[in-house]
Amino acid sequence: MTGQFDGKVVFITGAGRGQGRSHALTFAAEGASLALVDICEDIDVIRYPLGTAEQLEETARRCRELGAKVYTSACDVRDEASVQAAVDGALAELGRIDVLVNNAGISSPAGPTHGLTEDGWNAGIDINLSGVWRTSKAVLPGMIERNDGVIINISSAAGLRGMGSNVSYVAAKHAVVGLTKSMAIDYAANNVRVNCICPGSVRDVDDLDSLLLKGVAQEWNVPLDVHEKEFASYHLIDEPIEPADISQACIYLAGPHSTRTTGAILSVDAGFVVKAA
């Protein structure tokens, strides 16, 4: 059986767990080869554990079981040399990068403007915004040379409206929306399409080792026994979004049915932004 990404290589940041693992498995099932990266260590200022090397290898193992060729690397998107080394390794192993999914991101530390430390502010901006720029910068030369490529930036519903007590995250995710639009203009002549997905509250799934929604709940003092119901109440459709919903949006934006789509901001938020308006 053939898939719509046979012969294509997809590079995914933050692939160790959660939505990143979901994206990897979905692209693998569609025939893609994969370059999967994650930080594989914790950051002191972030109040929940980040993806591990073991989780990244579990993602890779499951993708290989689906028939995918997989390259993995530890990669800190805050560091240009780390990003470039991961991209160079992927190119050496897999030959090209056709699709980049800028998935790596953090929701911590939360807090109002006056309560956020310099390190907390910088972590949110450096990972959620500058990491998108750094990884795109490293991947784009090959796409420009081939006159073909797709970049998918993962922003958030918080990139389309304000939210309290999460100032660094909201600022960075708004900026990712603007970055997407500017990149789409810059590279349209090179046949490189750049689009953005804005998820709402995405359910944590044990099979994906997800932790993000629980981390948000803990920082916002939302009881874990009701956190899914609490966050779903922000949506018009009163239930959390599934990671697979975001993965299928990635498939659409990367695939042959969106060849005239660039600079688009796709909300997969169960009506969160509309309800908030």
Which residues are annotated as catalytic? 169
Name residues whose C-beta falls within 8 Å of residue 27's C-beta, 6 or more positions apart in sequence.
5, 10, 12, 34, 68, 99, 247, 250, 251, 254
Sign of CA dihedral 70, 74, 75, 80: negative
Residue with tokens 């081939």: 146
Count Cα atoms within 13 angstroms, Cβ side, for 120.
18
Shortest CA distance to 135 belongs to which of 243, 32, 37, 20?
37
Q: State the DSSP code for 240.
A: P
Phi and psi angles of residue 85, each rounded to the nearest 5 degrees, phi first: -65, -40
8 A C-beta contact, residue 7 and residue 32? no
